[in-house]
A = this chain, B = another copy of it.
Amino acid sequence: MNLNIALLPGDGIGPEVTQQAVKILNAIAEKYNHNFKYTKAAIGAAAMKINGDPLPNETLKICSEADAILFGSIGEPVHDHDPNANIRPEQGLLRLRKELDLFANIRPVQTYESSLHKSNLKEEVVKGTDFVIYRELTSGIYFGEKKISKNEQEATDTCTYSAKEIDRITHLAFKAAKSRRKKLTLIDKANVLATSRLWRKRVQEISKSYPSIQLNFLYANTAAMQLILKPTQFDVILTENLIGDILSDEASVISGSIGLLASASIGEKTALFEPIHGSFPKAKGKNIANPLASILSAAMLLDHFQLYDEAEEIRAAVEKSIELNITTPDLNATNYFSTTNVGNFLSDFILDDE
């Protein structure tokens, strides 16, 4: 397969970890005879240093024309400490998602046997957790009309959803459930919100086209409890933007390995793949950043193009590295490996055919 991949390393540890993800994609390309072409582009604080814009037009153009985008991380401390700054590096990513209409944010939550003990939850609670969250990303209250009255005595936010916006992510979530354990949970507040009632109506309607999938419903507050009480009960979770923001970050702490969590943001024309972690400026340039989440986001990229065997190969290599403790300091305090050496191990593991 030929793939045009836009490469957006971004800030902090972003460049170091995406470099390893590219190394692994190249190993896969070599082994499976694919042709992956990369075009690098600037975003975030790194882009602001050039002309002040966290999403330069050229970057947007490269991304629009790419089959997929591999993204590192964004954010630099100098911008955090300036509350009067009108432009922040993070806006580069938010605008990119909106411009490319990346409407579905997908976050798998998996556990790794050897890092289970790192979770704040008990091992027996977390063990076997394996679900994926489909969060609507370009509508809802974050994108609705906002008002603050002139005298600053009243403010209003508006949450609107159209059937079309609900339908497109719902189909993606049902399709994911088909290739998984065939369970879909819609999380909403249908007891109080009109938008939630539209979500329920549409999802129930669409569920008729997926008769093999068991559909159930949870209120967002109950879901916030159930994620901690019994995370193994979930398979595919579908939810709107604000609720998904809160619950997906809550879910990210279940496995005890935030440094291993990848995500995808899918649009009609292109898709973006990124680790959920931030730019960890303190680790920048030290060759100690954990590249596994970025590498697992490359695996999600391959999944997106139905290169399932290739994606599985990356995941198996990652599991092997964790099992053998060939990991960075965050997972391996003593005897740790560098970012580069973890990437080298995985690349060799994929290319070595015994």
Contact = CB atoms under 8 A, between A and B. Distances in A.
A194 interface: yes
Interface stretch (A178-186, A206-214, A240-248): A240-248
Nearest to A119: B122
A108 to B, nearest CB: 17
B154 A162 contact: yes
Interface stretch (A22-30, A58-66, A195-203, A289-297): A195-203
Interface string A118-143: 00111001000000000000000110
Copies in the complex: 2
Contacts of A246: 220-221, 224, 243, 246-247
A228 interface: yes
Contacts of A224: 224, 246-247, 249-250
A233 interface: no
Contact of A198 (B122, B142, B152, B253): B152
A158 interface: yes
B153 A163 contact: yes
A194 B253 contact: no
A148 interface: yes
A156 B196 CA distance: 9
12 contacts: A141-B157, A142-B189, A142-B193, A147-B194, A152-B163, A156-B194, A158-B159, A222-B249, A224-B249, A225-B250, A225-B252, A227-B250
Contacts of A252: 225
A339 to B, nearest CB: 24
Given A152-B201, A220-B246, A242-B242, 11 more contacts: A141-B141, A141-B157, A148-B194, A156-B158, A157-B159, A157-B195, A221-B250, A225-B249, A225-B253, A227-B250, A246-B246
A198 B245 CA distance: 21
A194 B143 CA distance: 11
Contacts of A201: 152
A109 to B, nearest CB: 13
Given A224-B247, A228-B250, A246-B246, A155 B198 contact: yes
Nearest to A126: B120
A263 B213 CA distance: 39
Contact of A160 (B156, B198, B249): B156
Counting chain A residues whose Cβ lies within 8 A of the other chain, the interface size class is 35 or more
- Name the residue in A141, A227, A228, A246 with the highest tally of chain B Cβ atoms < 10 Å from its Cβ: A246
Contacts of A152: 163, 198, 201
Contacts of A189: 142, 242, 245
A36 interface: no
Nearest to A195: B155
A198 B154 CA distance: 7
A320 interface: no
A136 B265 CA distance: 33
Contacts of A161: 154-155
A316 interface: no
A324 interface: no
A120 B144 CA distance: 37
Contacts of A1: none
A4 to B, nearest CB: 32
B148 A198 contact: yes
